[in-house]
């Protein structure tokens, strides 16, 4: 696992450089989700693939930017699903973006996840790695230095509701409004990595991306986004559900499958469960 952690660190330093210097003109290609790929997305995907190609323990990779899995080392045991530059549509307005990595053993699937990691590219570059514990690291010069362990409180103060409101189910809107009525503050940038990072570091709250009338299975992808953050929230003492079920109990049929998702501290997720169970 140390060699994977080091490869992610090397990738993060190269991605930071690409963000700082690369032209962000749009390419003509589309990714498997049908979005126009930024040249920067493609560059970050290439950087990660290159770094992982040098790690013999990695069997197969799956990227949000690639339609199919790529086998790297036949004798490796780890399967890594990654989103090279999540929130890249925020690059042109200079908001924070991130990379997400789900590390699975022997095959892709929530039940096989053994570690997960994300990197936030904001005013500073930070990395959160979850294995047995959830640990925050800060890039200082060319090294990531350990900062602290992350633990969620029982209850937080932030509410990050994703998706287009006109497409929410009425009971979902009531749920979101009820948190605001209780004094929760809106914190939503449109980048999953910085939005969830804020909830983790400020002690708790709720991030939701529900099933909507236009996206009945949610928007966020299970292997690249949902499972990695579910693993992190649970290891940090929080919860992660699809409205009813623990996200880590979900299966997937295709590597690009999506799911509704709720991440938060215990109190907020219990409220989600109660509302969703009654609807
Ligand atoms: P993209 O990489 O296309 O910018 O998508 C970002 C993802 C995720 O990071 C974020 O939480 C979500 O999409 C935001 O979606 P909405 O704008 O629909 O709320």
Q: Whose CA is nearest to atom 2 of ligand 1?
A: 87
pTM metric for this prediction: 0.95
- The DSSP annotation for 162-225 comes to -S-GGGS-HHHHHHHHHHHHTT-EE---S-HHHHHHHHHHTT-EEEEE---SS-TT-SSBIIII
CA of 72 to the centre of ligand 1 (A): 29
Fold of 158-277: D-Maltodextrin-Binding Protein; domain 2 (3.40.190)
pLDDT given at position 28? 65
Which CATH superfamily does the domain covering 2-149 fall into?
Fructose-1,6-Bisphosphatase, subunit A, domain 1 (3.30.540.10)
- Residues 160-168, mean pLDDT to the nearest whole number: 97
Phi-psi region of 201 (alpha: psi -120 to 50; beta: other; left: phi over 0): alpha
CA of 78 to the centre of ligand 1 (A): 27
Domain extents in the chain: 2-149, 158-277
Using the atom order of ligand 1, give the atom closest to the CA of residue 86: 2
pLDDT given at position 179? 98
The yes-or-no verdict on residue 242 having pLDDT over 70 is yes
> Any bridge partners for residue 128, and if so which?
118, 136
Rounded Cα–Cα distance for residues 12 and 146 (Å): 15
- Residues of the chain with pLDDT > 90: what percent? 90
Q: Whose CA is nearest to atom 6 of ligand 1?
A: 87
Residues with CB under 6 A from ligand 1: 35, 86-89, 162-163, 190-192, 219
């Amino acid at each position: 696992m140390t060699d994977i952690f080091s490869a992610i660190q090397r990738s993060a330093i190269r991605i930071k450089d690409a963000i700082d210097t690369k032209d962000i003109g749009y390419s003509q290609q589309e990714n498997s989700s049908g979005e126009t790929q930024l040249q920067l997305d493609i560059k970050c995907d290439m950087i990660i693939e290159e770094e992982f190609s040098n790690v013999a323990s990695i069997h197969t990779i799956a990227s949000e930017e690639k339609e199919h899995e790529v086998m790297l080392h036949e004798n490796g045991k780890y399967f890594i699903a990654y989103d090279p530059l999540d929130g890249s549509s925020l690059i042109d307005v200079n908001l924070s973006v991130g990379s997400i990595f789900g590390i699975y053993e022997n095959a892709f699937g929530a039940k096989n996840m053994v570690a997960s990691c994300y990197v936030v590219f904001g005013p500073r570059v930070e990395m959160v790695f979850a294995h047995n514990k959830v640990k925050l690291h800060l890039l200082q010069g060319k090294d990531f230095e350990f900062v602290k362990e992350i633990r969620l409180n029982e209850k937080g103060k932030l509410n990050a509701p994703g998706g287009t409101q006109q497409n929410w189910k009425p009971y979902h809107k009531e749920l979101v409004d009820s948190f605001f009525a209780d004094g929760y503050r809106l914190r939503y940038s449109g980048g999953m990595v910085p939005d969830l990072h804020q909830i983790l570091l400020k002690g708790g709250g709720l991030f939701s991306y529900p099933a909507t009338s236009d996206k009945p299975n949610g928007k966020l992808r299970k292997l690249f986004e949902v499972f990695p953050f579910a693993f992190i929230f649970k290891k940090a003492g929080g919860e992660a559900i699809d409205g009813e079920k623990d996200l880590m109990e979900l299966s997937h049929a295709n590597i690009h499958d999506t799911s509704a998702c709720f991440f938060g501290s215990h109190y907020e997720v219990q409220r989600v469960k109660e509302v969703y169970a009654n609807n």
